[in-house]
């Protein structure tokens, strides 16, 4: 029996270390084809894992998806990815949010 991926939010780690993964890549393929997307979910609802999965898809890492729905359903090619982690930004004021975003963008 496969291990449960408790507190693991990285798609590659779940796949490479043999954790249980419920294949939601059909929905991800549909999401990718959508023109506009807004994701709003409560804490601990899988948003970080979804972002990690999207990052692997847009990095062109097809091998990670072998055996999953999306494996042969999309054109696999690498795209530039910008990942902004809002949890490290102090956004208690408009000024602090702006400065935090600018600091993150400077690192890109």
Distances (CA, A) of 50 to 12, 86, 91: 12, 16, 24
**pLDDT digits over 29-85, tens only?**
999 999 998 888 888 788 889 999 999 999 999 999 999 999 999 999 999 998 888
**Whole-model pTM?**
0.83
Rounded to the nearest 5°, which phi and psi values hold at 22? -85, 120
Q: What is the pLDDT of residue 8?
A: 92
pLDDT tens-digit readout, 82-98: 888 888 888 899 999 99
For the chain, the structural domain boundaries read: 1-77, 78-108
CA end-to-end span of the chain:
41
> For residue 10, what pLDDT is reported?
95
Joined together, the tokens standing for residue 79 give 């795209």
- Digit-coded pLDDT (tens) for 9-25: 999 999 999 999 999 99
**How far is the C-alpha of 50 from the C-alpha of 36, rounded, in Å?**
16
3 DSSP β-pair partners: 19
pLDDT at 63: 98
- pLDDT value at position 84? 84
Angle between helices 25-33 and 47-58 (to 10 degrees): 70
């Amino acid at each position: 029996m496969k291990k449960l991926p408790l507190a693991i939010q990285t798609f590659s780690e779940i796949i490479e270390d043999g954790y249980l993964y419920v294949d939601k890549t059909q929905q991800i393929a549909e999401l990718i084809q959508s023109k506009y997307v807004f994701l709003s979910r409560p804490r601990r609802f899988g948003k970080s894992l979804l972002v990690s999965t999207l990052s692997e898809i847009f990095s062109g890492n097809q091998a990670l998806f072998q055996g999953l729905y999306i494996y042969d359903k999309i054109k696999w090619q690498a795209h530039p990815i910008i990942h902004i982690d809002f949890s490290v930004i102090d956004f208690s004021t408009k000024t602090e949010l702006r400065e935090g975003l600018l600091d993150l963008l400077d690192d890109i």
